[in-house]
């Protein structure tokens, strides 16, 4: 049985001289008489493609940006740099990198000029923002696109070139960086430049490795220039590893940001659903263990304590460190009311009128104090041993009753007002209840009342909080 000689098989692999010549002629310009027409063509295409890309980015048109990718000439010198590494042509390699650098600076300048001449941007278009989110996926795309571009050039499959140009997107990040730098968004501009450098380095590395694999360089050439080839490949491997550092940071910030973590939290999502609330904003601070929520819904978040308890319990099961800071939840809530005009069914006014309190509804039930929630993230609730009950009489008198005593006063109710005036009451039996004075003072600051789902809500003056009562 014959033993396979892997080294000999790899050495014999390679393109024919005619195929190799065709590939190299597609990558490089041979002859001084051909250099000037080539440079003019590259310059014209760069200017036109940058104008198209910048206009498409500012107008937020994805189709126009894709068209600019197809016109952009940047892919040719990038693949030429990869081919020069494989062939061991040092001068052509550095010349290709210089061309990419000059074209990149030219694209930045043209896009900045167009942005400066354009009307001031009120907001950054999404097509521009899409180039400010480099992640590890962009590195994988650039590696695959570079390999596909190199393989396409060796296989003479020109139909795949447009797809490679669109996939790697060398020009749009540069145009985005020019737009952002002109508008003063320096941090976002740096992100766009990182995306361009990711594409550039990964394409050269993947393209060079693919050229070696398909045998663009003959065996004799590889031996003579082995030191240069290996040193450049090693350099681009190091550059790729270095680019992974900002990509790791952006991947953590973009792919696994606070919105992502909130969306993946079953505890938070179930609590939002149960309370008919929508999450408009979330900020998670690991250092202080603080979760800041921006909530929107028809009713305020009454049982925020339940959410805190469940999140704290879940955190305790995942960590055995007793020195961890206690979890804090900060939130803002905005009421959301929807409707149609012309009205279909009940108008907003009719719905609101049904929710507002009336004398008949107040007097027909007794109301047990459940909770008082303040807008500074604090709350007060009755002790289990001494609950408070609020009763309304048709003579516009009210009574607060507890096991230790009772308090009386007068109330005033209107279409959008509910006020309380407390009589002088002295009951020594309830003086030990710390929540008593707080509750009575809050009741005197009541301004509006709403009844919905067997719950009476009394808002405090200055929108400082809400007192919640349930039917007894």
- Average pLDDT of the chain? 79
Query: Which pair of structure tokens corresponds to residue 362?
Result: 């107040």
Q: Please state, in angstroms and rounded to a whole number, the distance separating the CA atoms of residues 74 and 99.
A: 9
Q: Are 243 and 198 in contact (CB under 8 A)?
A: yes
Quick count: other Cβ atoms within 10 Å of Cβ 192? 28
Classify domain 348-471 at the CATH topology level: Lipocalin (2.40.128)
Where are the domain boundaries for CATH 2.40.128.270 in the chain? Answer: 348-471
Q: Please state, in angstroms and rounded to a whole number, the distance separating the CA atoms of residues 174 and 111.
A: 8
pLDDT score recorded for residue 156: 66
pLDDT score recorded for residue 385: 61
Q: Are 421 and 439 in contact (CB under 8 A)?
A: no
Residue 328: beta bridge partners?
290
Q: Please state, in angstroms and rounded to a whole number, the distance separating the CA atoms of residues 103 and 106.
A: 5
User: In terms of Cα–Cα distance, which of 396, 387, 322, 316 is closest to 358?
Assistant: 396
User: In terms of Cα–Cα distance, which of 141, 144, 151 is closest to 211?
Assistant: 151
Distance set, CA 135 to CA 127, 211, 244, 250 (Å): 16, 26, 9, 6
pLDDT score recorded for residue 424: 64
pLDDT score recorded for residue 162: 62
pLDDT score recorded for residue 357: 62
The DSSP symbol for 130 reads: G
Query: Between 3.30.70, 3.30.300, 1.10.3470, 2.60.120, what CATH number should domain 258-335 receive?
Result: 3.30.300
Q: Are 278 and 297 in contact (CB under 8 A)?
A: yes
Rg of the Cα atoms in the chain: 35
The per-residue pLDDT for range 152-191, each reduced to its tens digit, is 877 766 555 666 666 667 889 999 999 999 988 888 899 8
The per-residue pLDDT for range 56-77, each reduced to its tens digit, is 999 988 889 888 888 888 888 8
Query: Which pair of structure tokens corresponds to residue 469?
Result: 């009562």
Q: Which residues contact 174 (CB under 8 A, 6 or more apart)?
A: 50, 104, 107, 108, 111, 192, 193, 196
pLDDT below 50 — which residues of the chain?
Answer: 1-12, 345-355
For the chain, helix, strand, coil in percent to 5 are 55, 15, 25
Where are the domain boundaries for CATH 3.30.300 in the chain? Answer: 258-335
Cis geometry, peptide bond prior to residue 342 (ω within 30 degrees of 0): yes
User: In terms of Cα–Cα distance, which of 387, 358, 376, 393 is closest to 469?
Assistant: 387
Quick count: other Cβ atoms within 10 Å of Cβ 190? 15
């Amino acid at each position: 049985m014959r033993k396979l000689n892997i080294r000999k098989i790899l050495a014999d692999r390679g393109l024919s001289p005619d195929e190799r010549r065709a590939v190299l002629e597609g990558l490089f310009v041979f002859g001084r008489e051909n250099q000037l027409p080539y440079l003019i063509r590259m310059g014209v295409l760069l200017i036109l493609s940058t104008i198209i890309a910048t206009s498409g980015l500012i107008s937020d048109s994805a189709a126009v940006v894709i068209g600019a990718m197809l016109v952009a000439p940047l892919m040719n010198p990038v693949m030429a740099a990869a081919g020069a590494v494989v062939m061991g042509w040092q001068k052509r390699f550095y010349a290709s990198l210089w061309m990419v650098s000059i074209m990149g600076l030219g694209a930045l300048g043209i896009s900045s000029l167009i942005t400066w001449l354009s009307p001031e941007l009120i907001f950054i278009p999404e097509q521009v923002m899409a180039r400010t989110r480099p992640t590890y996926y962009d590195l994988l795309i650039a590696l695959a696109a570079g390999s596909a571009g190199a393989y396409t050039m060796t296989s003479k499959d020109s139909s795949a070139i447009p797809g490679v140009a669109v996939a790697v997107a060398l020009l749009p990040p540069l145009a985005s960086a020019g737009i952002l730098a002109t508008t003063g968004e320096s941090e976002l501009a740096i992100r766009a430049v990182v995306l361009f450098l990711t594409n550039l380095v990964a394409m050269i590395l993947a393209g060079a490795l693919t050229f070696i694999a398909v045998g663009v360089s003959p065996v004799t050439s590889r031996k003579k220039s082995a030191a240069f080839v290996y040193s450049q490949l090693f350099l681009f491997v190091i550059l790729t590893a270095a680019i992974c550092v900002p990509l790791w940071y952006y991947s953590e910030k973009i792919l696994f940001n606070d919105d992502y973590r909130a969306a993946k939290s079953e505890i938070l999502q179930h609590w939002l659903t149960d309370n008919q609330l929508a999450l408009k904003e979330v900020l998670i601070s690991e250092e202080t263990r603080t979760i800041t929520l921006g909530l929107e819904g028809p009713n305020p978040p009454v049982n925020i304590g339940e959410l805190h308890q469940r999140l704290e319990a879940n955190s305790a099961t995942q960590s055995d460190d007793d020195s961890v800071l206690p979890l804090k939840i900060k939130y803002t809530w905005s009421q959301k009311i929807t409707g149609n005009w012309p009205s279909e069914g009940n108008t907003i006014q009719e719905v609101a009128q049904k929710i507002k309190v009336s004398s008949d509804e107040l007097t027909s039930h007794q109301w047990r104090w459940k909770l008082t929630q303040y807008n500074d993230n604090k709350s007060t609730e009755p002790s289990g041993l001494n609950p408070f009950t609020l009763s309304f009489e048709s003579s516009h008198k009210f009574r607060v009753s507890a096991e230790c005593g009772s308090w009386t006063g007068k109330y005033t109710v209107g279409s959008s007002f509910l006020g309380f005036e407390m009589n002088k009451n002295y009951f020594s039996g309830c003086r030990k209840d710390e929540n008593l004075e707080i509750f009575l003072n809050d009741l005197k600051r009541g301004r509006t009342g709403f009844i919905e789902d067997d719950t009476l809500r009394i808002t405090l003056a200055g929108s400082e909080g809400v007192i919640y009562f349930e039917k007894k």
